[in-house]
Amino acid sequence: MKKQFVKTENYSRFVAAVRAVEQRGAAEAGLLLLHGLPGLGKSHTADRWAVDTGAIFLRAKVDWTPRYFLKDLAATLRTVDTSGSSQQLFGRLLDHLARSQQPLVIDEAEFTLARQAQVLEKIRDISDYAEITVVLIGMEKIQKMVARHGQIHSRIAQAVEFQPATLADVAYACGLLSEVPMTEALCAEVHRLSGGRMREVLNIIATVERVARESGLDKADVEHFRGVALSYDWQMRRPRTVHAGAGAAA
């Protein structure tokens, strides 16, 4: 499978929301909340955006304390001394971020809400004082969790809920990533079997490629995969297979 980044509709909405935060009127309203169901590509999208823009990407840890977070942030930056008191470390980080204006991305942000949201309060302070954009990534319930903390919730300038990938997104991904060309009908089956979860789309494309190579196919169509398990439903504990009638009505 080709190593490419797929710019889906979710990606476009996320980038538009980032621009809106960057153009905000209130300097302290620098938080963007990115949320949605697992497997829709939230982390992958934000990570790619961070690489492209020079933003800092951190994955929150279950045992983060404010100081542990600050040390992780400093270690990621590499140029900030991690020694001294928490207050000294915080000051050095503020100085660096205020000058660099690097956005900050926090994945699995639910972990920042433990212990009365002490870590998220520290992240809020960094956003306030350095006036940088902070992207918080979480599951579908994080918006309600953050809403319990009014002083933080009021600083969320934008919230983006990732949706399942559209058929157009999936067809684009299949065309961009698959080393074996796939017909429109098979792309539609990839969309149906994946439920629009980009993580699952990538796994299915890899399976299609493997089966196609083993079968010596130059192009993959539904007729080659009818009854073939391209995915697995872990809740129902059964494989997801290409429909017998796929191609006529996927």
Other C-beta atoms lying within 10 Å of the C-beta of residue 23: 8
Residue ending a domain, choose from 161, 196, 230? 161
Instruction: Establish if 1 belongs to a structural domain.
Output: no
Residues 198 and 155 in one domain: no
Question: Does a structural domain hold residue 249?
Answer: no
pTM for the model: 0.89
Same domain? For 57 and 127 the reply is yes
Q: Which of 213, 36, 27, 222 is nearest to 127 (CA)?
A: 27
Is residue 2 a part of any domain in this protein?
A: no
Which DSSP letter does residue 155 get? T
Same domain, yes or no: 84 and 132? yes
Query: Coil, helix or strand for 103?
Result: coil
**CATH (domain of 113):** 3.40.50.300
- Domain assignment present for 32: yes
The answer to whether residue 248 sits within a structural domain is no
Distance CA 62, CA 43 (A): 17
Structure tokens at 104: 């900050």
> CA-CA distance, 57 to 64, in Å (whole number)?
15
* Residue-number span of the structural domain to which 84 is assigned: 9-161
Say if residue 71's pLDDT is above 90: yes
Q: Is residue 55 part of a domain?
A: yes
For the domain that residue 230 is a member of, what is the CATH number? 1.10.8
36 to 42, 103, 136, 142: CA distances (angstroms): 8, 21, 12, 9
> In the numeric block, which tokens belong to residue 92?
């050095």
pLDDT in tens, 165-222: 999 999 999 999 999 999 999 999 999 999 999 999 999 999 999 999 999 999 999 9
